[in-house]
Copies of this chain bind each other. A is one copy, B any other.
Amino acid sequence: MAIHSIWEKFPELQQELLETQKIMNQEVTIRNKEISRALQSFFANGGKLLRPAFFLLFTKFGEVPSNKRKYQYAAAIEILHAATLVHDDIIDEAPIRRNMETIQSLYGKDIAVYTGDFLFTVYFQLVTQATRDYKVLDFNAKNMRHILIGELDQMHLRHNPEITVKEYLRHVKGKTAQLFQLSCAEGARFAGCSKMTQLRAYRIGHDIGMAFQILDDILDFTADEDVLQKPVLEDIQNGNYTLPLILAMKNNRQAFDILRTKQDLSEEDVKEILENIKRYNGITEAQSMAKRYTDSALKEISKLPNIPAKTVLQEMTQQLLQRDY
């Protein structure tokens, strides 16, 4: 088993994430050896395990009913994330993720659809076993329903140059913040924290999720300034417009007329769009929005009780949301 190097600084959490990974591996050990192995390698290969890490950190603000069930819940959350990735890879026909061939590219679309469905089921079963409370299950199902309704809304946002900042933020909320806020709030609830701490955890998760996704979308444009990044090229060609582009369009509508007039964008067209995004402050304004969410998360974290987990939470959040790689 292996775990991402970002956790080396936090040995206690690192150990807990190894326990979480152990349950994940057990749960996907099935008759079909190829799928078992493919999923286990996928889990071992550099997933950052951020969502279970936030869940585990928030359990420290209270008392968990059982360590085994705590790890089951943490594993469930990462498995839900994995399920969405496997299905996303079908949609994008992505050949590679985490330096590995995707399930879709290894075994075909049918196996990838069923593998994602299988992981969704494992998620529900683990949450059931961990929480033993139908109200919590109802809350989890409601949360997942929001995520998927959000994805279905995407249908209207693609190839839509009139997409607003509000629509973008709603999509990010469904796609990313929803699972971060579930992870944090459920950690606090599972450990029997006060309603106030649960609500705070929920807000922190929301803000971290929003900042995380906005930052990810910015990094697509800035990661390597000399080379046109393939994801950006494809995103724009596929009509997926993210915050830097939306903000730049707001500042200068005409500069992006090509999105309204031309069907198939060439590499040259996309290069020009990228330059205009920078010229009309798309990147810098997106960065300030990400910073507002990060500051808001850090402010809420500062109000949590003073226990060692609070410091870890602060360092993690800073490391995660102020990266430029």
Contacts and interface: CB of A to CB of B under 8 A. Distances in A.
Interface of A: 30-32, 34-35, 87, 90-91, 107, 109-111, 113-118, 120-122, 124-125, 128-129, 131-134, 137-138, 141-142, 144-145, 148-149, 151-156
A214 to B, nearest CB: 22
A133 B144 CA distance: 20
A118 B32 contact: no
A153 B31 contact: yes
Nearest to A33: B156
A114 B114 CA distance: 13
Given A32-B149, A117-B151, A134-B137, 12 more contacts: A30-B152, A87-B114, A87-B117, A91-B113, A114-B148, A114-B151, A118-B148, A121-B148, A124-B137, A125-B141, A131-B134, A134-B134
Contact of A145 (B116, B122, B148): B122
Contacts of A110: 91, 151, 154
Contact of A129 (B90, B114, B138, B156): B138
Contact of A132 (B132, B134, B142, B144): B134
A149 to B, nearest CB: 5
B125 A124 contact: no
B115 A152 contact: yes
B111 A113 contact: no
B113 A149 contact: no
A34 B155 CA distance: 10
